[in-house]
Structure 1
Amino acid sequence: MTTPTPDIRLVVLDMAGTTVADGGLVEQAFAAAARRLGAESAGMLDHVRATMGESKISVFRQLFGEETKAQEANKAFEEAYADLVDGGWVAALPGAREAIEELTSQGRTVVLTTGFARTTQDAILAALGWQDLVPLTLCPADAGGRGRPFPDMVLTAFLRTAAADDVRQIAVVGDTSYDMLSGVRAGAGLVAGVLTGAHDADALRAAGAGHVLESVADLPGVLA
């Protein structure tokens, strides 16, 4: 028996890998940051890949331990990623903007979230011309600083938009296991993975995805 789709009123979408093409930019920026700090990036990249979707400062704390070093690494990463954005390397995934506009036309509220710092998130939004596309965008610092896989950004979107009466009216969509975990932990009624980013279908399902989509472009049809 097919489970009916919940009455979704709030859609929380990840950015890099879900609505924004990643193209290895996170790894490039990390390698640039490691070089600046005189660290060997090769042995750290596996950890970076495994923790895609997590708050970047959290990842650097895991890698470098010392808070000062982690902050320095995070600053170098954000600067390197900003250089890539300024260089025109960021693009929307095919159909992403159209999907967001269709979800909005269906009467749903869309929120964009990221594991990047606010300055980087704003630079990406500006590069894409998305500053006014959705009513709310969130980074980890906007939700207490923990980021994914904690449910904080999802629950902050729920509280700040007041678009839904129940967490089961939330859909959480992303390309990483941590996106899925954050949705499950928030009690979202629909948790969906997309195959345009970091993790494959098995990893997404293992982390709690109830749906796995080829891309976010398929989401309006699923909800309709």
Structure 2
Amino acid sequence: MIELAALDMAGTTIDEAGAVYRALRTAVERTGVPVAEADLQTWMGTDKREAIAALVRLGGGTPTPDLVEDGYAAFREFLREAYRTTPPQAIPGVEEALAELRRRGIKVALTTGFSDDVAYPLLESLGWSAGEGGNLDAVVTSDEVPRGRPAPHMIHRAMEKTGVIDTRRVLAAGDTVVDVEAGANAGAGVVIGVLTGELTRADFEGHPQTHVLDSVADIPSLPQARPAV
């Protein structure tokens, strides 16, 4: 049985209407370089400063520290406005799934390529929080780790926060390729690609996942998530 479910936020547990994709593209294109769709897909789910630097470089630009910081400020402003006009919502069935996992004794952590100043207001808008009285056991943002996905650090940090020591008892899930790569790099026993983001089932083929599910809402039905009898 798994002891920890480490789940991505935007596109995996939270429906934010594709605002992150649009914000990232806008932040990079305002520097004067084009963004290829394939490159955007590759860098979704990563630390957003790292993503901006990589996409500027791929577009033929020079990602100086000032340019990256300006791009990140534009990313946050676009996202703030997008969330104001179209408030994010929990993906259908996810809140119930998280509650059921915790009822079974499985810790639930959210991991994200967002920094604290983006992640926590987003969670607050949904009424989600970690700790006593909250619906989560831990939250890990990009500010807490030396490298974002596909590095395993956020998942390992979630293990530290929840007291889980066996990576084989960790389930990692996300809607991007770097999410499943991070899960595999972390040694998670269950690595899931979900179809609530921009990718299709075919997009996850050939990548290190153990399952592709329609939604995080389907996780409680997995044998690994069922209580031992």
**Aligned-residue offset at 1:214:** 0.9
Q: Matched residues, percent identical? A: 33
**Residue 161 of structure 1 pairs with residue 159 of structure 2:** no
**Residue 215 of structure 1 pairs with residue 215 of structure 2:** yes
Partner Cα separation in structure 1 for residue 36 and residue 211 of structure 2: 31
Query: TM-score, normalising length from structure 1?
Result: 0.89
SS in 2 for 1:198: coil
Q: 5 Å matches for 1:8-87?
A: 8-34=2-28, 37=30, 39-40=32-33, 43-64=35-56, 65-87=63-85
Partner Cα separation in structure 2 for residue 69 and residue 45 of structure 1: 21
Task: Between 72-81 and 203-212, report the one with greater CA deviation.
Answer: 203-212
**Aligned-residue offset at 1:45:** 4.5
SS in 2 for 1:58: helix
Contact 2:181 2:207 survives alignment (8 Å): yes
Aligned residue identity for 2:159? F
Contact 1:78 1:117 survives alignment (8 Å): no
1:122 to 117, 120, 123: 120
Consecutive aligned runs of 4 or more in structure 1 exceeding 4 Å deviation: none
Which residue of the partner structure matches residue 145 of structure 2?
143
Contact 1:178 1:207 survives alignment (8 Å): no
Aligned residue identity for 1:60? I
Q: 5 Å matches for 1:80-119?
A: 80-119=78-117
Contact 1:148 1:182 survives alignment (8 Å): yes
The unaligned stretches of length 5 or more in structure 2 are: 57-62
Contact 1:170 1:189 survives alignment (8 Å): yes
Contact 1:85 1:127 survives alignment (8 Å): no
**Aligned-residue offset at 1:172:** 0.2
1:88-115 Cα offsets, whole Å, 9 max, x none, are 4311110111111111001010000111
SS in 2 for 1:206: coil
Which residue of the partner structure matches residue 182 of structure 2?
182
Partner Cα separation in structure 2 for residue 126 and residue 39 of structure 1: 34
Which residue of the partner structure matches residue 4 of structure 1?
none
Aligned residue identity for 2:44? M
**Aligned-residue offset at 1:160:** 2.0
Task: Between 25-34 and 57-66, report the one with greater CA deviation.
Answer: 25-34
Contact 2:150 2:182 survives alignment (8 Å): yes
**Aligned-residue offset at 1:174:** 0.7
**Aligned-residue offset at 1:44:** 4.5
Partner Cα separation in structure 2 for residue 116 and residue 44 of structure 1: 22
Contact 1:115 1:147 survives alignment (8 Å): yes
CA RMSD of aligned residues (A): 1.7
Partner Cα separation in structure 2 for residue 27 and residue 117 of structure 1: 16
**Aligned-residue offset at 1:133:** 1.8
Which residue of the partner structure matches residue 59 of structure 2?
none
SS in 2 for 1:165: coil
Contact 1:111 1:136 survives alignment (8 Å): yes
Partner Cα separation in structure 1 for residue 120 and residue 79 of structure 2: 12
Partner Cα separation in structure 2 for residue 17 and residue 24 of structure 1: 8
**Aligned-residue offset at 1:38:** 5.1
**Aligned-residue offset at 1:31:** 4.4
